[in-house]
Amino acid sequence: MRIFAFSSRDEIQKLMHDIGVDPYGIKIMLPKAQTFLIRLNSVNNICANILKQEMLSIGAEAAIARGTLTGKVKKTDILLIGSLAQFKQLCQKIKLQPFGLDKLSEELDINIKNYFKDNYILSLKKSSLNLSKKTRIMGIINLTPDSFSGDGLYNSNSGSCLELVLTKAKKMVADGADIIDLGGQSSRPGAKNISIKEELLRTVPVVKLLAKNINQPISIDTARPEVAQACLDSGAQIVNDVSGLRDRSMIKVAAQYKAAVVIMHMQGTPLTMQKEIKYHSLIDDIAQYLKNTIDSAQDAGIKPDKIIVDPGIGFGKKPEHDLEIIKRLSEFKNLGKPILIGTSRKSFIGKVLGTNVDERSCGTLATCVIAAQNGANIVRVHNVKEASQSLKMTNAIKNANA
């Protein structure tokens, strides 16, 4: 006798195949073999009671607050417990119901489909990047003198500085980088803004140089529309905005240039983000911000296949928040967008391990591996070679006997 705790659809499918189950039987039984918990927030007691009864009628369950049935509790969070097949039944049963349950049925169906989506192709202006088969690597090149990680390459825009950047970028590509991310403004906690002129001086010549010398797409890490536009004009294809597209002009620039965008969650600004950290519900708050911004971006003309989301490790988060985000990363999959995670050398690793910035490589690799297992499509790192090897090994284990 063996007891399995498989959550992967592919693993369950392989197990049935190994037993010799008929392919049609696998198709029927697979949704029944996958059990999920789905949390709904602040549902009125009428809808909650209907959902409870409908779930029970199909052999599933719904956990609601005590007092909901009697009406003593007017609103409750709900934990729906069932198989994928049962949730499909639920959607059918409530789509003709009143009290907004028809809308809930539609939303539930979309979120379930998003959760299982794994065929992401990132559309770029000059090419595309398949994010489906393996976790991709974004290599970090800091064009700053004050990077928290101590690897800033900027001193001046002399020929030697440009040559140093080109050498580093080529090595990253050789080591396995799929994207090169350039930043001219430090976003470390407490960082002060430099002038737009200075940020342009640091980034534009480098973008032009790399665009001519490497095939991998270039991402510009900036929160300024003026800098994004100049870098897109010079050959960049991705805007990595730590401010999460708060500036509407950034959305217009990205749409105009048909650029891909990384929408990151940040509480406050780099100057203030670690001073007042407060969340009602960490994952819910981050997911809601990302969802709202995705909608705004798409409404303004950014194509759905050009959007990446990043929950923003270390940006207005405490170490315990960062750990929770990585642990629960799969909960962002229902946004229906590829997920980027940036943990490299960050302070929460130092907090856990008691290490300085230059001693956080092993901790970074551990976070990358777990993030990849939990749904990350892209990891943003300083040490490309080590991350590439770690993820290659992870992928080999995951696909063993597949």
Q: What is the pLDDT of residues 87-99, one digit of tens each?
A: 999 999 999 899 9
Q: Is residue 159 pLDDT above 60, yes or no?
A: no
The percentage of the chain sitting over the pLDDT mark of 70, rounded to a whole number, equals 92
Quick one: pLDDT at residue 150?
44
The answer to whether 193 and 252 have CB atoms below 8 angstroms apart is no
Q: What is the mean pLDDT of the chain?
A: 90
d(CA 341, CA 331): 13
Domains and their CATH numbers in the chain: 34-116 (3.30.1370), 121-398 (3.20.20.20)
Beta bridge partners of 75: 44
Least-confidence region, from 60-64, 162-166, 192-196, 335-339 = 192-196
Average pLDDT over residues 382-402: 88
Average pLDDT over residues 38-65: 93
Quick one: pLDDT at residue 2?
63
- State the amino acid at position 34 in one-letter form: Q
**How far is CA 73 from each of CA 42, 65, 66, 70, 252, rounded to the nearest angstrom?**
11, 7, 7, 8, 45
The answer to whether 262 and 238 have CB atoms below 8 angstroms apart is yes
Name the strand (E) or helix (H) holding 365: helix 361-373
d(CA 393, CA 176): 13
Q: Is residue 35 pLDDT above 90, yes or no?
A: no
Q: Which of 136, 202, 306, 380 is catalytic?
A: 380
Quick one: pLDDT at residue 32?
84
Which tens digits make up the pLDDT trace of 286-298?
999 999 999 999 9
Confidence class for position 199, pLDDT limits 50, 70, 90 = very high
Quick one: pLDDT at residue 157?
46
Q: Which of 346, 360, 385, 392 is catalytic?
A: 346
The answer to whether 250 and 225 have CB atoms below 8 angstroms apart is yes
Q: What is the pTM of this model?
A: 0.89
Quick one: pLDDT at residue 277?
87
Give residue for tokens 């959760």: 115
Quick one: pLDDT at residue 191?
66
Q: Is residue 155 pLDDT above 60, yes or no?
A: no
Q: What is the four-CA torsion angle of 32, 37, 43, 46, rounded to 10 degrees?
A: 40
Quick one: pLDDT at residue 1?
63
Q: Is residue 224 pLDDT above 70, yes or no?
A: yes
Considering only residues 17 and 335, tell me which one the structure prediction assigns the higher pLDDT: 335
Q: Is residue 273 pLDDT above 80, yes or no?
A: no
Which tens digits make up the pLDDT trace of 100-126?
999 999 999 999 999 989 899 999 988
Quick one: pLDDT at residue 160?
60
The length of the chain in residues reads 402
Least-confidence region, from 66-80, 145-159, 246-260, 361-375 = 145-159
380 is catalytic: yes
What Rg value do the Cα atoms of the chain yield, rounded? Answer: 23
Burial class (CB in 10 A: 0-12, 13-18, 19+), 26: middle
CA 343 to chain centroid: 12
